[in-house]
């Protein structure tokens, strides 16, 4: 495991947003607002910007209408200042990757970056317009009342190599799983904020986006979203769960949106913030500890993921490793 970098070259503060391409914007908006309970901040032509009811940033999901099929354009992360963007550009280029400033509506200066083949494209921004939080606006709250974006999970063909690149940016591991016989790193949770995850990496062909996770307030709200999904014709798109992740003791429920993008609902995660916190280490035989009850996920949960726009996945099997698969 690489050493944690306590003085990174620039300051990423948290996971921030995702840009999805969708086939039918109206259908997608119905799902994101009525089932997940997100709020539309703006809609301009074929692009819609949504946020959770706890979020004051302008958006955490951008839906872009496209005739080219569903994909994820990039993942978004926040940095502390505009100066961090210039330091980030220098770092990515020096590391053999790419970095270019791009224009984005409703965002401050934005830098689109990549470490290169096999890694997800990351969009860094230093600011967004501030909008009212809707926690106390109860008439505006629908469906699952998604509070805020929490993390992303990506499949990558080289977990150890990708981990080293992100840990050099100050990401800390909160938990990881290794193969019991080979010691090979199979999956890892990395964080920059005060809970266990901003970016999760799992071994499989990639880069591909497995899911984006949102925090909801309680189990009843999670189940309400599933009930509404059933009423609105999305019942078979409630894909997996509810269940419990052993570490960090979180309850989960997975949905698929109308384009197949996977969304996870989780309850508020535990804190993971002090420098002396050490990651939980698990091996591939500890499935009962990782998922203490319930059956394993369906095969489509292991295999089907969102491709990044214009990037062909490479290296490894389609199916990501899971604690109950044993492989």
Position 85 scores a pLDDT of: 99
Whether 321 is in a domain gets the answer no
Q: Are 109 and 17 part of one and the same domain?
A: yes
Q: Are 163 and 301 part of one and the same domain?
A: yes
Position 320 scores a pLDDT of: 74
Q: Looking at residue 67, which CATH number applies to its domain?
A: 3.10.180.10
The residue segments making up the domain with residue 255 are 145-307
Domain total of the chain: 2
Q: Are 56 and 161 part of one and the same domain?
A: no
Whether 313 is in a domain gets the answer no
Q: Are 156 and 294 part of one and the same domain?
A: yes
Q: Are 25 and 111 part of one and the same domain?
A: yes
Position 113 scores a pLDDT of: 99
The tens-digit pLDDT sequence of the chain (327 residues) is 888 899 999 999 999 999 999 999 999 999 999 999 999 999 999 999 999 999 999 999 999 999 999 999 999 999 999 999 999 999 999 999 999 999 999 999 999 999 999 999 999 999 999 999 999 999 999 999 999 999 999 999 999 999 999 999 999 999 998 988 888 899 999 999 999 999 999 999 999 999 999 999 999 999 999 999 999 999 999 999 999 886 666 899 999 999 999 999 999 998 898 888 889 888 766 665 567 788 888 999 999 999 999 999 998 778 776 654 443
Whether 135 is in a domain gets the answer no
Whether 248 is in a domain gets the answer yes
Q: Are 104 and 224 part of one and the same domain?
A: no
Strands 71-79 and 122-125: parallel
Q: Are 113 and 161 part of one and the same domain?
A: no
Whether 250 is in a domain gets the answer yes
Position 327 scores a pLDDT of: 39
Whether 314 is in a domain gets the answer no
Q: Are 112 and 175 part of one and the same domain?
A: no
Q: Are 16 and 95 part of one and the same domain?
A: yes
Whole-number Å distance between alpha carbons of 163 and 117: 14
Lateral strand order in the sheet of 47-51: 39-44, 47-51, 61-65, 12-22, 71-79, 122-125, 110-114, 98-102
């Amino acid at each position: 495991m690489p050493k944690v970098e306590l003085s990174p070259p620039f300051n990423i503060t948290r996971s921030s947003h995702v840009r999805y391409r969708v086939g039918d914007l109206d259908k997608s908006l119905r799902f994101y607002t009525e089932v997940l309970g997100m709020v539309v901040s703006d809609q301009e032509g074929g692009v819609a910007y949504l946020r959770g009811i706890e979020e004051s940033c302008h958006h955490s999901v951008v839906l872009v209408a496209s005739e080219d099929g569903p994909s994820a354009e990039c993942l978004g992360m926040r940095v502390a200042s505009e100066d961090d963007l210039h330091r980030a550009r220098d770092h990515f280029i020096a590391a053999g990757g790419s970095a270019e400033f791009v224009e984005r509506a409703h965002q401050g200066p934005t830098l689109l970056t990549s470490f290169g083949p096999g890694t997800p494209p990351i969009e860094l921004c230093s600011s967004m317009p501030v909008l009212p939080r809707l926690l106390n606006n109860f008439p505006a709250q629908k469906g699952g009342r998604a509070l805020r974006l929490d993390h992303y999970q990506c499949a990558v063909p080289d977990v150890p190599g990708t981990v080293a690149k992100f840990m050099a940016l100050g990401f800390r591991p909160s938990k990881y799983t290794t193969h019991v016989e080979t010691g090979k790193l199979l999956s890892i949770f990395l964080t920059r904020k005060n809970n266990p995850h901003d970016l999760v990496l799992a071994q499989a062909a990639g880069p591909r986006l497995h899911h984006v996770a949102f925090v909801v307030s309680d189990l009843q709200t999670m189940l309400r979203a599933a009930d509404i999904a059933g009423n609105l014709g999305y019942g078979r798109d409630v894909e997996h769960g509810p269940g419990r992740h052993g570490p960090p003791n979180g309850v989960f429920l997975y949905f698929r949106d109308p384009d197949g993008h996977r969304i996870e609902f989780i309850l508020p995660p535990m804190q993971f913030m002090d420098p002396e916190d050490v990651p939980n280490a698990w091996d591939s035989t500890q499935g009962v500890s990782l998922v203490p009850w319930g059956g394993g996920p369906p095969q489509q949960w292991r295999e089907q993921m969102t491709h990044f726009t214009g990037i062909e996945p490479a290296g490894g099997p389609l199916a990501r490793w899971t604690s109950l698969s044993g492989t």
